[in-house]
Structure 1
Amino acid sequence: MKIQKLNWAGVKLLISGKTILIDAVEDFSAYKPVLGQPKVDLVSFSDDTKADYIIFTHLHFDHFDEKLIAKCLKPDGKLLIYAALKPLVDNLRANFDAIFLELEETYAEDGISFKPVFAMDGIGDIQSSWIVEGEGTKVFHGGDTMWHNQFWRLGKENKGIDYAFLPANGVTVNFTMIGLEYSPVVASLSIQQAFVAAKLLHAKCLIPMHYGLFERAPYYVPTNFGTQDLVEWSKKMEQRYLLLEDGRYLEAEEMVE
C-alpha cells in the first residue's frame, strides 16, 4: 500500500493497482466566509488522478468535492457511501455507481475491504469514519469526528489498525449565521484527543490531519499545537505518530511493521 496525504483531511491510497480517494478536496471556496483563505498553498492532484473508489465521511464541502468526484472517478469507478447519507446524495450524484453501506457493513473487491464505522459530527450532521484494508495494511480515517465513547469498542472490534488518520485541530465553531447556537466545546478532536483516540483504536501510528490550513475568528477557531505538544502526548499515551505534510507520500522507512 502507498499512502499520500492530500489537502486538509484528504488521503489517497494505492492498493493492488487501485486508487482510493478519501475526503479528497481541491476547492474549498464554498466555505471561505467561515474558514477564510487557506494559510498555505493547496495541493493540486486532480489532473493526474483517476480513482477506482472514492469515499467521503460526510457532506461538508471541506470533505466532499462533487466536481472533483466527477473529474477523478473512473467511468467504472465506485462511490462508497454511508447509507444514512443516501437521501442527501441522491440529488447530487450524476451517473456514478454508488454502493451504500450500513455502519459495520463490509464491502470487499479487488482484494480491498471497506467499512464505515461510527463517528460523531461536531454540529450534529451525519458522518461516519471509514476503515480500508488491503495488501496487509489497515487504515482508519476519522473525517472530522469529535470525541465520542465508541473509540474503545472500535479498537476492540477492529484489530490491527496500522494508521489512524484523525483530525487534530480541536476547533471551536461559531455558526450562528446558519441558526446554530454557539458552543465553546470543540467540534473536532484536539491533538490530545487524537492521541487518546489512536491509543484506544490500538493504531500502530497516528497521522494527524485536518489542522493548520484554516482559521478565521470568530467563526472557525482551532486549538493550535506545536512540537512540544506532540512529544508530550506521544510519551504520555505511548503512541507513535507521524506528521505527513500535504502532498507527501509515506516513505518506505516510515511504514510501521
Structure 2
Amino acid sequence: MFFKNLKGNFRKPAGSQTLKWLLGWHDERRPKSPATGVPIPYVQNDGSSLYKSTGDTLTWIGQASFLIQLGGKNMLIDPVLSRSLGFIKRNSPPGLDWAALPQKIDIVFITHNHRDHMDAPTLKRLGPDPVYVVPKGLGIWFRQNGFPKVIEMSWWQQEEIDGIDVTFVPAEHWSRRGLADINTSWWGGYVISKNGLRVYHSGDTGWFDGFAQIAERFPDIDAAMLPAGAYAPRWFMRAQHIDPEEAVRAFKTLGAKQFVGMHWGTFKLSDEPLDEPMHVLPHIWEQEELERSKLESGVLGKILRLDKLG
C-alpha cells in the first residue's frame, strides 16, 4: 500500500533534483555554513525538577524531539538522542540526556520514519516497555525489532492511550526508510490532550490546507510545536518543509496559544545556517504584531509549563 498527501501523491524529490541541489546548480545558492560548532540556546537540565513534577510540561530535546508531561504521564515524541545520524553529526547536545529523562516513559510517538525522527539506537535503548504510537504501515518495523506494544494510526484516527486522548493528523510530507519503501508508511502529526490541555506536534510538513482543518477540529490548542528549519533552498524544500515565515502563518491559522519552534539547530540537513531560525523568527513575529510572550523559538532543555500559558 502506498500513502499520499492531501494534495496528491507527492514523492521524494527525484535523484536529478537532489544532485542539482547538492552540486549548487541552481539560483538559490548560499555560502557554506558550519554543520557543527554552532551555539544554540541551552539550559542545563539534570531532570531533577521533571522527576518530581506534578505539573504539565514540554521540554525541547533537539530537532523534533520533546518530552511531554501531561496528566501524570511521561511521553516522548520523535526521540533522537544519538550523537549522529550516520555521517551527519549532531551540532548541539540533547536538551535532556539519558540520565535526565524520567525513569519511566509511558508513551513514545513517532511522526514518520525519517532517521532524524525515528532513530533506531535511541528507540532500542528506550526498550519494549513504553507504548509506541506510530503511523500506519510502521507497526511491522517495531514488532520485528522487539517492541510489542504498538498502536498504528491513520489520519484523523482518535484513541485513548493510557488515559491520554490522541489524534493522528495529516502533514504534507513523505516517508522512506530503505531503498524500496517510499511512502509505504504514513507520516503526520499528533494532537495530544488531557485534563483540558492540548498540544500539537506537526511532524515534518510543507504548507498545506491541513492546518486549517486541524484548527477547525481542535480550536483550543495550547502549544503548537512547529518546524522552522531545513527549508533552504525553497525550490527544493518547499514541498516538504515549511520555513519560519510559513511556521508563523501556520501558528496563526491554528489559533494556538503558544508557538514552540523545532527542527533546527541540531542536524545540518539544508543550506541555511543552523542558527538562522532563532534570528529570523523574532523579526517575523514583530512584523506580524504578535505578542512576544507567545513565541518560544527554541531553547534546549528549557521546561515550558503548559498550565501557565496565557
Q: Pick the TM interval, shorter chain.
A: 0.7 to 0.9
User: Which amino acid is 1:142 matched to?
Assistant: S
Mapped contact 1:58–1:128 kept (Cα < 8 A): yes
Name the structure 2 match of 1:232: 284
The 1:73–1:248 alpha-carbon spacing in structure 2 relative to 1, beyond 3 Å, is: farther
* Relative contact order, higher structure (CA 8 A, sep 6+): 2
Name the structure 2 match of 1:144: 204
* SS of equivalent to 2:118: coil
Please list every run of 5 or more consecutive structure 2 residues that lacks an aligned counterpart in the other structure.
Answer: 1-55, 176-181
Alignment map for 1:215-226 (pairs within 5 Å): 215=268, 220-222=270-272, 224-226=276-278
User: Aligned to 2:79, which of 12, 21, 24?
Assistant: 24
Name the structure 2 match of 1:63: 117
Is structure 2 residue 304 aligned with structure 1 residue 250? yes
Mapped contact 1:7–1:42 kept (Cα < 8 A): yes
Q: Distance in 1 between matches of 2:237 and 2:218?
A: 32
Q: Distance in 2 between matches of 1:56 and 1:214?
A: 18
Q: Distance in 2 between matches of 1:228 and 1:145?
A: 19
Name the structure 1 match of 2:179: none
Name the structure 1 match of 2:45: none
User: Which amino acid is 1:100 matched to?
Assistant: E
Please list every run of 5 or more consecutive structure 1 residues that lacks an aligned counterpart in the other structure.
Answer: 175-181
User: Which amino acid is 2:228 matched to?
Assistant: A
The 1:184–1:156 alpha-carbon spacing in structure 2 relative to 1, beyond 3 Å, is: closer
The alignment's TM-score, normalised by the length of structure 1, stands at 0.81
Alignment map for 1:74-223 (pairs within 5 Å): 75=129, 77-86=130-139, 89=141, 92-121=144-173, 125=183, 126-172=186-232, 183=236, 185=238, 187-215=240-268, 220-222=270-272
Identity of matched residues, %: 21
* SS of equivalent to 1:197: helix
The 1:108–1:187 alpha-carbon spacing in structure 2 relative to 1, beyond 3 Å, is: same
Mapped contact 1:31–1:62 kept (Cα < 8 A): no
The 1:228–1:150 alpha-carbon spacing in structure 2 relative to 1, beyond 3 Å, is: closer
Deviation per CA, 1:161-190: give whole Å up to 9, x if none: 11000000142379xxxxxxx836463111
Q: How many residues align?
A: 241
Shift in Å, 1:122 = 6.2
Q: Distance in 1 between matches of 2:77 and 2:305?
A: 19
Name the structure 2 match of 1:4: 59
Mapped contact 2:200–2:224 kept (Cα < 8 A): yes
**Greater share of residues in strand:** 1
Shift in Å, 1:237 = 6.4
